Amino acid sequence: MTSKSIIGFIGLGKMGAGFTARLVESGYTVIGYDIDDACCQAAKAKGVEIAESPAKVAERAEIIQVCVISTTAVEAVILGEGGIVEVTQGQGKTVVDHSTTELETTKRLAKTLLERNGMQFVDAPVSGGPGAAAEGRLAIMAGGEQATIDAIEPLMSTLGKFTRMGEVGAGQATKLINQALVLSNYCVIAEACNLGNRFGIDVSKIPDALSSGYAGSNLLNDLLPRMVENDFEPRGYARQILKDLHMLQDAANALNVSMPMAGTANSLYSMLVSQGKGELDGAAIVSLLEGVTPERSS
């Protein structure tokens, strides 16, 4: 793959904007699509060529990256009217799904694309947010055939740390583990923020004070200052966090795995979204916990 390779990108929202900015900056020609015209126009202003459908993107690109809001949206992009599956000459093309997609659907889509179009499929969900995408600092966890992974590795390494976790589906399984770790910690960090405020200490100093110990982390450094400032401008939406937590809980139930911490996070974000705060950043969980009356042991 050369720096002049044509890359398709479907989903030009917050994450997609970060991805495509990095790709254009790195010398790739990017053909994009989004159902939201405002997202298309914003991407066009940043150097992305806009196609009229996912199929039109896939016709021109060797690698087609997808980053959309839900499993249903991924299915629509691939199997729906004007979808990638309509491309008749799929040999040599690879679809890379960066969305957080249901595991069994991921496997089914991979099988369908290979059988109907000869396309390869890699599930490669990410962690890190729009800023990390734009700066090439994403954690990218992938599932797919080794040869396909090797072929897309130069492109993926432009975007972040790229790790093959196994066959198709392994990337999504790893992303659920990531979400269990990260989203439970959203709630723990919110608790710590509230506790610090009650102690009367300068909570903004906590990330620096703890940076050399076990409690220091990138998540603490990023999230706690926003909680302190009540900065809930969405980098990602609380409703999306709840969607991922539901997916995590469903997967755990199917495997008969107990996940009480993730279950608590699920309950808390359900409460937050039910209060009409689903369009806020996940950091807004701190506002919910401020109003929770603590249970006292006898």
Any idea which residues carry the catalytic annotation?
A: 175
Beta-strand runs (E) in the chain: 6-10, 29-33, 49-50, 63-66, 94-97, 120-123, 126-127, 138-143, 160-166
> In Å, how far are 30, 46, 103, 131, 198 from 138, measured between CA atoms?
19, 20, 21, 9, 35
Residue type, 232: F
Residues 112 and 214: their CA atoms lie apart, in Å, by 45
Which residues, 6+ apart, have CB-to-CB distance to 195 below 8 Å?
Answer: none
Given a contact cutoff of 8 angstroms between Cβ atoms, the answer to whether 2 and 28 are in contact is no
How many C-alpha atoms does 255 have within 13 Å on its Cβ side? 11
Q: How far is CA 89 from the centre of its chain?
A: 29
**CA 297 from centroid of its chain's CA atoms:** 38
Q: What are phi and psi of 7, to 5 degrees?
A: -115, 135
- Distance, CA of 46 to CA of 49 (rounded, Å): 9
Q: How far is the C-alpha of 57 from the C-alpha of 96, rounded, in Å?
A: 13
User: Is 173:127 a contact under the CB 8 Å cutoff?
Assistant: no
